[in-house]
A = this chain, B = another copy of it.
């Protein structure tokens, strides 16, 4: 019923890395692929015409944020997210679970750094088997997020790939609690899938594997979820407090995922993690790292990261990186970008974001090429 299709074009002879092709109703995603985050239906500082022009094949939008503003019903009336935001290429939405549980427990990063949750983010009222209710920080409205309401919202948005509702347990949690959270997540994902399959709407649904950093629970999660009719598998929950823990966890977990389905790593997309995870068989990565870095004046280049506000950049009248074909480098010098950052001009954030996103698109193209040549 769905026009979603995943095809593996080449498997590296040196690792689990593979080059693939995901077909969706809004076009193809060549994998491994970097997925930029456009939380509110726009990548910060860019318009969706530019995002298409950069060649970003998949954009990640957040159901939690879109639920609060403009609301699922408004997007439905606009004719779906693609029409509302005027994006022609594929979109993936999450379930809203990650954000709402971050409100309740704080994010992993918050926990590790002993930060509290942001008070402005509203608060969770109740968590039970049905789902979660919370208050909108925007207008105080009470919102109920359950497997069924999350999927209903994602139907209204009409993204090409959607995510079942899951529970995000705190990072510091005992085994018994983690296990019962995992069981609830499995029940919620099953309910989400059932709701989704009532009206597939040409959308694909990727399960979210949980189990924290416990290898056995991760294995159980793979076992349970891979038996269900999901179109792909995302790795969620805590993947460890550093890259080493993450890689170890993925190494033991990945063999339990069906090879013929796409594998997505949720919320991870810094360069080192990307290079570490592609050989493990991850196909898509979403992360706000390159776009957030851009807004903080950190430019990605093949020679490493460049801090645009550094004095050395003030007189560099060539492009950010020689030979870069991005829209920014074709038109503006690093010195001008330095000036715009120093002058706190909005245009700075836009031009830097274009460059970093183009860098990611090109990086993934090179990574696919390397896999084709069995170099990864």
Contacts and interface: CB of A to CB of B under 8 A. Distances in A.
A84 to B, nearest CB: 6
A315 interface: yes
Interface stretch (A188-196, A200-208, A268-276, A341-349): A341-349
A95 interface: no
Interface in A294-335: 314-315, 317, 331-333, 335
B347 A69 contact: no
A145 to B, nearest CB: 19
Copies assembled? 2
A65 to B, nearest CB: 7
A333 B47 contact: no
A197 interface: no
A78 B44 contact: no
A374 interface: no
A336 interface: yes
A127 interface: no
Interface in A40-69: 40-49, 65, 69
Contacts of A372: none
Contacts of A333: 78, 84, 86
A343 B65 contact: yes
A76 to B, nearest CB: 11
Contact of A331 (B42, B74, B86, B315): B86
Interface in A184-226: none
Interface of A: 40-49, 65, 69-70, 74, 77-79, 84-86, 314-315, 317, 331-333, 335-336, 338-340, 342-343, 345-347, 349-351
